[in-house]
Amino acid sequence: MHNTRREFLRLAGSAAFIAAAAPHALARAPFAGAIQPSYRLKLGDLEVTALADGYLDVEQKLYTTADKAEMSKLLSNAFRDASAPIRTAVNAFVVNTGEKLILIDCGTIQGFGPTLAKLPERLEAQGFSPEQFDAVLLTHMHPDHVGAATNSDGAARFAKAELIIAETEWKFWSDDGNASRAPKDIQPFFKIATDAAKPYHKSLRLFGKDEEVMQGITSVALPGHTPGHTGFIIASGKESLLVWGDIVHSAALQFAHPEWAIAFDVDQTQAIATRKAIFDRAAAEKLLVAGMHIDFPGFGHVVQASPAYGFTPAFWRLDQ
Ligand SMILES: [Zn+2]
């Protein structure tokens, strides 16, 4: 005992002991900088990976039907800056069935700013190479959903993949008449949509309403945001997931006020009705949902709440 104590005191006073004990207290590490966010969960026999394309700051005034005072209150309650544009995630999802590798949405096109269009590097960081993909499913054809479909030279990034879109969606964006009738600031969206699909002309597959588009993946028509806006129910074993695209652009606002539409909705009245209906269904069926604009990784459950609905983010799963 004595010896041990003496030995400890001798060691404690020695330079070697101080050097060995000190690193935790004194170590300096360089800042790690940006990360490559991803999140993966098992869904039955499938693997679903959420990837962050980035984020954009949405002007509050784009919630055209929102009450200003109520919006400020909700943003403050959600610990958001009530006087700033609303920071909004852009997500995409990879589904690996074991047989097929599928990408749902492609993130944002280049040129929307430095915080977006990260999907290609996020795919690579997760070990996915573009030529591995069998299919690319699009919830709709807005510029923040078709981005990585093509390379910078306009060629198909996912050269071996089918491009799978709702027929209604494709017909809307590829109609020159619709393009010329659209508001001026929306007109470029038509060319962006058709340019994204152009290199896939041989592998473009269009689906109807509520169809099984791949084994275990069924489309759910969710019109309004765009005419062919679509969710996908992915099912395996006892588990299922609804990837619902742009049903929600701000969780802080639109669960409490599903009647608040965003300026990008092609048909706001229909978008509002669709949002309420799918909220009701998701809450009643206790569906796990995932959204392209819900804070990364975007998984959670809709609950009935006051004044309307609420959103409970899914717990962090460390599935193997
Ligand atoms: Zn979007």
> Could you tell me if 165 and 141 are in contact, meaning their C-beta atoms sit under 8 angstroms apart?
yes
Model confidence band, residue 1 (pLDDT cutoffs 50, 70, 90): very low
Concatenated DSSP letters for the chain?
-HHHHHHHHHHHHSHHHHHHHSHHHH-----------EEEEEETTEEEEEEEEEEEEE-GGGSTT--HHHHHHHHHHTT--TTS-EEEEEEEEEEE-SS-EEEE---PPTTS-TTS--HHHHHHHTT--GGG-SEEE-S--STTTSGGGB-TTSSBSSTTPEEEEEHHHHHHHT-HHHHHHS-GGGHHHHHHHHHHHGGGTTTEEEE-TT-EEETTEEEEE-TTSSTT-EEEEEEETTEEEEE-TTS-S-HHHHTT-TT---TT-SSHHHHHHHHHHHHHHHHHHT-EEE-TTSSTT-EEEEEE-SSSEEEEEPPPP---
Cα(311) to centroid(ligand 1), Å: 19
pLDDT tens readout for residues 35-91: 888 899 999 999 999 999 999 999 999 999 999 999 999 999 999 999 999 999 999
Q: In angstroms, what is the span from residue 88 Cα to ligand 1's centroid? A: 10
pLDDT in tens, 124-157: 999 999 999 999 999 999 999 999 999 999 999 9
145 alpha carbon – ligand 1 mean position (Å)? 6
Cα of 28 from ligand 1 centre, angstroms:
41
- 307 versus 93: the higher-pLDDT residue is 93
Place of tokens 């008449």: 177
Give residue 23 CA to ligand 1 midpoint distance, Å. Answer: 47
53 C-alpha to ligand 1 centroid (Å): 11
Instruction: Evaluate if residue 12 carries a pLDDT over 60.
Output: no
**C-alpha separations of 52 from 58, 120, 237, 287, 296 in Å:** 17, 10, 27, 22, 7
Q: What is the CA(274)–ligand 1 centre distance, in A? A: 16
**pLDDT per position as a tens digit, 263-298:** 999 999 999 999 999 999 999 999 999 999 999 999
Kindly report whether the global pTM for this prediction surpasses the value 0.85: yes
**Using CB atoms within 10 A of its CB, is residue 152 exposed (0-12), middle (13-18) or buried (19+)?**
exposed
Q: Kindly give the distance from the C-alpha atom of residue 292 to the centroid of ligand 1, in angstroms, as a whole number.
A: 7
| Separation of CA 125 and ligand 1 centre (Å) | 23
Per-residue tokens: 110: 């280049």
CATH number given to 38-313:
3.60.15.10
Q: How far is the CA of 307 from the centre of ligand 1 (A)?
A: 25
